[in-house]
Amino acid sequence: MNKTWIILKREYLIRVKNKWFLIGTLFFPVLIVLMVILPSVFMMTGNVGKRTIAVVDETGTLFPLLKEHADGAYKDDQGRPLYNWIEISKNEFDKENLNQEVLDGKLDAFLIFPSTIFENNQFELYAKNIGNFQFNESINAMVTAAVTRVRILDTGLDPQKVHALTKSVRAKTFKVVKEGPKEESGELVFVLMYILTLTIYMVLIFYGMFVIRGVVEDKSSRVMELLLSSATPNQIMIGKILGIGAMGLTQIGIWAISAFFLTTYGTLMVKSFVSQAQLPALPSLSLGSALAFVIFFLLGYFFYSALYAALGSMGDSESDIQHLQWPVVTPIILSLFLMFALMKNPEGPMAVVLSLIPFFTPILMVMRVVMGAVPLFQVILAVVLLILSTLGMMWLSARIFRIGILMYGKRVTLPEVMKWIRYSS
Amino acid sequence: MEIVVLRNVYKFFGEKHAVEDLSFSVPKGQIFGLLGPNGAGKTTTLRMIMRILLPDQGTIQVFGNTLAPSMVNRIGYMPEERGLYKKMKVFDCVAFFGELKGLSPERARKKAKEWLSRFELSEWAQKKIGELSKGMQQKVQFILTVLHEPELLILDEPFSGLDPVNVDEMKNMLLEMKNNGTTIIFSSHQMEQVEKLCDAICLIHRGKNVLSGTLSEVKSKFGKNRIRIYYDGKAQFLKDRSLVLESNDFGKYVEIQPAPGVTPNALLKRAVQEISIHRFEITEPSLHDIFVQLVKNQGEQIE
């Protein structure tokens, strides 16, 4: 135990003291923030310019209604209308001329409302970029609103009243848990589920690679035999796994703490700058979900890193890592695919069965626990199964490990590995 | 007291017999040489003593018991393939292995300091191991092996890759440790280089014990039966099988193993008739000669 601790300490310190640890730890959140912020920044700047749209209205009634509706419903932060409308009378209409103005950038688009628009439900939109779905949809919505208004007026009804009568209804979501229903946003549950499962996914892939690389490096530098003369293969393997795990926890801890400060103080700061900024409410984590996350996160790491260590012991150069990692990366990626497939029905028999298979448990169980109320016995069963298979995997890996670390210079085949497992030594 | 005892040890790798029916014992305070050509099974034997590999048959006892993990702290082991943490600082690496051998962190640091200054590496203590020259790295490797003052030292090819100065230094170091009561087992394929160092040896070939015993036992078994003649002229008598069993002509001198029953006097009598002799001496065979002779005989038996 003491030797495991000494190896753990070295594995941890050598990595945490490395400058790349610092760079990676700092850079990763910056990357994430950029990925989240940049698109919304682009979207915002994209909307700032006022769009000028010409309209040729053959019906004679639609244009004023469209303008009224658009100016009222589509405004920027300062309350100014987003669209600038120009009506072109039928007599002045010159398609060539309008085309040229669009090409020159004087116009963003022009619309033609045929007199048959009320029967055929169709009008024409001319623009340079007709692939901008957001823009197309806004125009469709505005014209639809105007057309609907004309139709309502034609039937002699009061548009205000119709609007009030046809107001759409939305569900307020409640999550049913043992303690009784509790209000929770459906989207936020999804966001939370994604954050937690993707964290586990990343940990398994990313820190697993540290384990496989660590073992291969010690083999290629021939330090392994020296270690073996002082400690048992089990001590070396477990020391490595725990040391790298501790490094991972340190890194994730730093991110979690900074995320906490960023969300609490960051929100306040952003609010003080942009008065009307709409910030998403933050998902809150229930105690049960948090506990499930921590347990499956840790067990998942131990289960998979034992496998990574065994695979690492089969290689002795950097290039071996490429093909050695597949047997372990495949089930991890598969769990993610299964998660996407099963999250619509997290209580179905498929979800229940698959989430009990140790290879998939870490990701699928966390998904199920966050998404809905999983019966407690299923969670306990999954934990027990995962603990047993982790112990089994550790035992199996240790047997492969202690033979593998002395093997050099040949690619290992599966029958050979089976033989190693059976060896008494 | 016997520190290491091997009894009828076998080790197979698939069909290959790496070690076959090997037995020897090493008393306390001796230097024991495990000698043989490359691929003879020396490394496998040493790894089995360290319990890095387990024997398929037979028993190995260290300090009177089967080696348990708790006992490895009393042993210093230097593998044939030298390896160090290249990215670690010299001092940290030495202290780490000291701790791994059971020293307290304080004591490991103290010992690391002592040994580094003894090998004149103090200036390099805070450098990364990768920045050291090969010779310095070998010194660090040796420090790792002896830092915790082991009772038993197991060195796999300690002299390979060393320049002549360092070979002498290593020999002196081993003799000094022997005088402090340390038992030392080492392997080597360069027999002549080490024969004077050993109290006892075991010659192995293809995993089998060819010859073992104390150096004087081994030598006396073969007796002072080699004749070396420095000469000029044509030595026709060398081809006479009734006189000469085997000869090895080096140009300036020839080494002769006389046929059974032939006395040096009889040989000399014949030689003076054919060549002019500068020097005539009776010597004992070198370990290398003994080994070659034994392996040849054995080879004839096998084939």
Q: Which of A6, A225, A227 sits opposite B81 (nearest CB)?
A: A225
For residue A418, how many other CB atoms are within 10 A of its CB?
10
Tell me the shortest Cα–Cα distance from A42 to chain B, in angstroms.
44
Q: What is the reported pLDDT for B302?
A: 41
CA–CA distance, A287 with B57 (Å, rounded to integer): 57
Q: Does B101 touch chain A (CB under 8 A)?
A: yes
CA–CA distance, B12 with B25 (Å, rounded to integer): 21
Task: Give the start-end residues of each E strand in B67-137.
Answer: 75-78
Residue type present at position A308: Y
Q: Which of B56, B72, B81 sits opposite A222 (nearest CB)?
A: B81
Q: What average pLDDT does the segment B35-47 reach?
A: 90
DSSP string, A217-267: HHHHTT-HHHHHTTS-HHHHHHHHHHHHHHHHHHHHHHHHHHHHHHHHHHH
Q: Which two three-digit tokens encode residue A310? A: 């065994």
Nearest to A293 by CA among A190, A195, A180, A175: A195
Question: Do B86 and A221 lie within an 8 Å CB cutoff?
Answer: yes
Residue B117 confidence class, pLDDT cut points 50, 70, 90: very high
Structural contact between residues B23 and B7, judged by C-beta atoms closer than 8 angstroms: yes
Q: Which of A14, A224, A424 sits opposite B88 (nearest CB)?
A: A14
Contacts of A223 in chain B (CB under 8 A): 83-85
Per-residue pLDDT of chain A (425 residues; tens, 9 = 90+): 589 999 999 999 999 998 888 898 888 878 877 776 776 666 555 555 678 888 988 888 888 888 888 888 877 767 778 888 888 887 778 888 888 888 888 888 888 888 888 888 889 888 887 777 778 888 888 888 888 888 888 888 888 888 888 888 888 777 666 655 666 666 777 878 888 898 899 889 989 999 999 999 998 888 999 999 999 888 999 999 999 999 999 998 888 888 777 777 766 666 665 554 455 555 566 788 888 889 999 999 999 999 999 999 888 888 888 888 888 999 999 999 999 888 888 888 888 999 999 999 999 999 998 887 788 899 999 999 999 999 999 888 888 888 888 887 777 778 878 877 776 54
Question: Do B50 and A223 lie within an 8 Å CB cutoff?
Answer: no
Same CATH fold assignment for domains B2-213 and B224-284: no
Q: For chain B, which residues make up each domain, given as ranges? A: 2-213, 224-284
Max CA pair span of chain A = 97
CA–CA distance, B47 with B154 (Å, rounded to integer): 9
- The residue to which tokens 């690619």 are assigned: A411
Bridge partner list, B209: B204
- The percent of chain B in helix, strand and coil, each rounded to the nearest 5, is 40, 30, 30
Domain B2-213: CATH class, spelled out: alpha beta
SS3 for B48?
helix
- What number does CATH give the domain B224-284? 3.30.70
Q: What is the reported pLDDT for B303?
A: 34
Structural contact between residues A343 and A367, judged by C-beta atoms closer than 8 angstroms: yes
| DSSP secondary structure code for residue A81 in this structure | B
Strand ordering across the sheet containing A83-88: A83-88, A51-57, A109-113, A124-127
Q: What is the reported pLDDT for A348?
A: 86
CA quadruple B62, B64, B70, B75: dihedral sign: negative
- The residue to which tokens 């160090």 are assigned: B84
The string of pLDDT tens digits covering residues B216-272 is 888 777 777 788 899 888 888 888 888 888 888 877 888 888 888 888 888 888 888
Beta strands B31-35 and B200-205, pairing class: parallel
Structural contact between residues A220 and A385, judged by C-beta atoms closer than 8 angstroms: no
Q: Does B70 touch chain A (CB under 8 A)?
A: no
Q: What is the reported pLDDT for A19?
A: 87
Bridge partner list, B75: B152
Structural contact between residues B203 and B41, judged by C-beta atoms closer than 8 angstroms: no
Q: Does B142 touch chain A (CB under 8 A)?
A: no
CA–CA distance, B203 with B210 (Å, rounded to integer): 5
Question: Do B79 and A406 lie within an 8 Å CB cutoff?
Answer: no
Note the pTM of the prediction, 2 decimals. Answer: 0.75
